[in-house]
A and B are shown apart, each in its own frame.
Chain A
């Protein structure tokens, strides 16, 4: 395994770490993108640990910082983050294609990173795999059932309801601290889920060209996702078949702070990626190593 710090992009201002197996000859690589403003090491160092495990299994990767994040310089143009992030993911693919002769890619991201990975895959045919951690989610009838079932049996929920009606509820404190202290040259991104119909159309197009997805949901996005298989159910009108592997870790938080959950995520993603990188996998769908939580394929 070998790691190298690189500079790339049209102005050489993007910083990344390429992590590679000892031998050359890989035909597929994984590109890992920022989650929010967390730098390229990933939440709780997830990207570093995953990159090294992948390299041991023969899969190269590039983890990098978008402009203005981590160790990459801010852009000089006024391109919105949604556009510049996609452009920069393509520049990462270009670097791997030019320097390593790799032509097929999986892009991995958490939260806003998942959003940008998805947006890049819409435009970039070289991306034929996505690993999305807490991506956009769309509520289903079962979501609402799960949501309200938990509440009708909760004493706290009844108390809140009573307080609201009695006018006794104390307003939550106004946000203070970190948000007001953000650096001015940070890219701005407000996470808004696109209309489900748009995402359904994109998924249909991606599936038609053979793209495969591993979507892993934590319990930290409970406002949008709360039961195993919700993604498949919410896109019932798209023939995803075995192209979608969906995993739910209900006890995990959004950035996987529990060490046990980190191991589950690493094992699941590594298994899926290694299978996807096997030339024989082109004949069939990759399978994640068994996760300890609910999984729906």
Chain B
């Protein structure tokens, strides 16, 4: 506020200059309150954010406690010094490197296939006649309602019949349908924002659906692609129940099952477990921070989606 006032343009006739100053004087008594309010707002926001972030910071601190020491009973950060060795130790206690590699493989495959299938489906849905389109959106929303637990058992039987148990195919199979119908809807909302005339003229120029998708639709949807890629990767990285059910040999375990292994091995040795958790969640957090810094206006995707929903409801 203050800096903006001093930065007022010094040029122009005297009258013009006088006007903003008079306005300033009128607002001056009020102007101080927003400044105080702003400080209060920042304090409140910092306090709330800290409530969400402190456990994570504390986890990193606790993961650096030396092994074999009695856990601190007071709020001291490093009563016995810092043990970076914990982060080497966890790779010896469980095959963490291998599990991280497995997770990387599964998540990359899952996210890669998801980008294709979700954008195909969203692209096709966006160009369907309104009646069919509405039914497909309803279907996608309904699929979100089906509890995951309702498909555990039949999928197990299904994969067992196809001899896919203990393979990664069983883990990434949902990528065929875009992993979650939410990803399909994200693409659908993006492509509905694109003017239909664009696809129409491409079609009049003789482009098929495939080349229209590849040359027009995909380049326009780059932010959505980035968001879906990060979300899908995190989805497969975080998946716990599927690997728990479908993987049998320990050498194929992903990192989430690895964490469970470590938890069961030693129920009292928290520093090692916390170190392993820190390593396991680091990629997800890094990807999320990357996505945020690229997309910047974080709420923008949501807001645009809302606007699309608006348009849909108007058409009805």
Q: Are A and B bound to each other?
A: no
A-binding residues in B (CB < 8 A) = none
